[in-house]
Amino acid sequence: MSGPMSSMHGATALSGGAPDTVLTLPPAPGTHVTVRGLSKSFAGAPLYTNFSLDLPRSKIVSIFGPNGCGKSTLMNMIAGLLSPDTGEILFDGKSLKDTQIGYVFQNYRDALFPWITAWDNIAYPLKRQGMKPAAVKARVEELVALFEIRFDLQRYPYELSGGQMQTVCIMRSMATRPEVLFLDEPFSALDFEMTLFIRAKLQEAHLATGTTMVIVSHDLEDAVFLADRILLLTRRPTRIAEIVPFDLPRPRLPEAVADPAFVRAKAHTLEVFRREMR
């Protein structure tokens, strides 16, 4: 397909090619995360083989594709939660150990510490870094203002609603001012009202901080709505089917789903997805 919907603006697909050339290919301008020659197999069956990708700085990239294509596996390898068999992943040319990242898990009920308050959950990574109490308090208050928190953070996680728990998880993941924020299905267990709330707060956080974000989604509307780029994957062995740009200005209100640009991006993404399902 020709035209703007099939172009790759600000993200570069580099999967495939000869191993001796892909591993040394320099990142595209504006790249934040460089993935080169990534391979991963499970029980002898290849999932990714010599997979390469550039993720742009200060953009939100959503990952979408057929069931079992390895969406979460890819994000978890980049985030360092899962080791690739081979390959290199760099953040501004740095290794993961020299990079500050944040991660929002899909199951927020298991992600929060139930024996400490919501406030202490948010403060936990700051205390782990050895930050002084006054600085911890100031940073948590900054996040409270950013997310316009109206519920009591002195309550324990089990006393909060699902949406409130997910909000606390996101606040905790952003507490240390990560360079890259990874979110695994952040809306999957939320009702529609809380989905709209979290969408709005993630956009506000992104506009305020410019943090590079990577989101895995199994919902097409979620994959398109927040993204600047939609990374579409094939069936396994997984390759990049296409990277679809979506440049609708932020903040995107709920009514944006009726915007012609959103409709076009969603329709094209669905077309690629259906093609890969055949």
Could you write out the DSSP letters of every residue in 246-257? --PPSS--GGGG
What CATH architecture does domain 4-99+179-277 belong to?
3-Layer(aba) Sandwich (3.40)
Predicted local distance difference test score (pLDDT) of residue 13: 53
Question: Can you give the residue ranges of every domain in the chain?
Answer: 4-99+179-277, 112-176
Kindly state the tokens that stand for 17.
């090619």
Query: Could you tell me the mean pLDDT of each successive run of 10 residues in the chain, 278 residues long?
Result: 38 47 70 96 94 96 93 95 95 93 88 96 96 97 92 95 91 96 88 88 91 94 95 94 94 96 96 86
Whole-structure pTM value = 0.88
Distance between CA 273 and CA 88 in Å, rounded?
Answer: 28
The alpha carbon of 178 is separated from its chain's Cα centroid by a whole number of angstroms, namely 12
According to DSSP H, which parts of the chain are helical? 19-22, 71-79, 108-111, 118-128, 133-146, 162-174, 192-209, 220-225, 260-277
**DSSP conformational letter for 15:** -
The tally of CA atoms less than 13 A away on the side-chain side of residue 8 is 18
b/e map 205-219, b = 16+ CB within 10 Å: bbeeeebbbbbbbee
